[in-house]
Chain A
Amino acid sequence: NAGVTQTPKFQVLKTGQSMTLQCAQDMNHEYMSWYRQDPGMGLRLIHYSVGAGITDQGEVPNGYNVSRSTTEDFPLRLLSAAPSQTSVYFCASSYSITASGANVLTFGAGSRLTVL
């Protein structure tokens, strides 16, 4: 049981390049999400998914795309990288959204992205 696996751990891009951050979970979790973490700021939600085929925007979605074709995978795509997207990205999953709306997230180890 690997939990939430993110790849790559480190990536350097040039402005304008595109890439995909991979996220996979083996816990059969319905809910998956992507956060970015910047110095001096809290974790901010980029996109999330409540199940296969369903995605929605978070607080800072611009410049990112997601899709959810399977329960296990939730890739994050940067279409045209910008220096402002330099950050540490975390994927997180949860078994479900409870009736109260609260859910406990399991986080991956993070992917550190630098855009030059």
Chain B
Amino acid sequence: EDQVTQSPEALRLQEGESSSLNCSYTVSGLRGLFWYRQDPGKGPEFLFTLYSAGEEKEKERLKATLTKKESFLHITAPKPEDSATYLCAVNRGSTLGRLYFGRGTQLTVWP
């Protein structure tokens, strides 16, 4: 059965303390891995799409990487405004348009 597993479930960091979030997946025919950010009471907001192993993308303090089995979201020198839930999702080529989401990692950055 296809699965998307995110770890840790929750992460508390002090401002400036870099860390990584993990998303492991077991899907056949991966056609894209997505990272979204979700603030409380709001809908998810798109961050990155990765398509192939070895690919990397960056945006401000965030950097997403992809291997054949997992993706990492690296957060460098986080600030309190980076506090949010980060969601990982995968798209399978056999079911166009369907995204399968992990449960998310709730990140809290304290000053």
Contact = CB atoms under 8 A, between A and B. Distances in A.
Interface of A: 4, 31, 33, 35, 40-45, 48, 50, 58, 90, 92, 94, 97, 100-110
A102 B32 contact: yes
Contacts of B100: 42
Interface of B: 4, 31-32, 34, 41-46, 49, 51, 87, 89, 91-93, 96-104
A50 B96 CA distance: 9
24 contacts: A33-B97, A35-B101, A40-B103, A41-B103, A42-B4, A42-B87, A42-B101, A42-B102, A42-B104, A48-B98, A50-B96, A58-B98, A101-B32, A101-B96, A102-B49, A102-B91, A103-B91, A104-B34, A105-B44, A107-B44, A107-B45, A108-B43, A109-B41, A109-B42
Given A41-B103, A42-B4, A42-B104, A101 B45 contact: no
Residue picked from A92, A94, A102, most chain B C-beta under 10 Å: A102
A33 B98 CA distance: 9
A110 B39 CA distance: 12
Contacts of B93: 100-101
A97 to B, nearest CB: 5
B46 A106 contact: yes
Contacts of B91: 101-103
Contacts of A33: 97
Contact of A97 (B42, B43, B96, B102): B96
Given A40-B103, A90-B43, 8 more contacts: A31-B97, A33-B97, A48-B97, A50-B97, A90-B44, A94-B97, A100-B32, A109-B43
Task: Please provide the 6 A-B residue pairs with the shortest distance between their CB atoms, ordered closest to farther.
Answer: A102-B32, A107-B43, A42-B101, A101-B31, A43-B101, A101-B93
B42 A42 contact: no
A35 to B, nearest CB: 8
Contacts of A40: 103
Contacts of A41: 103
B41 A45 contact: no
Scoring B46, B91, B92 by chain A CB atoms within 10 A of each residue's CB, the highest score goes to B91
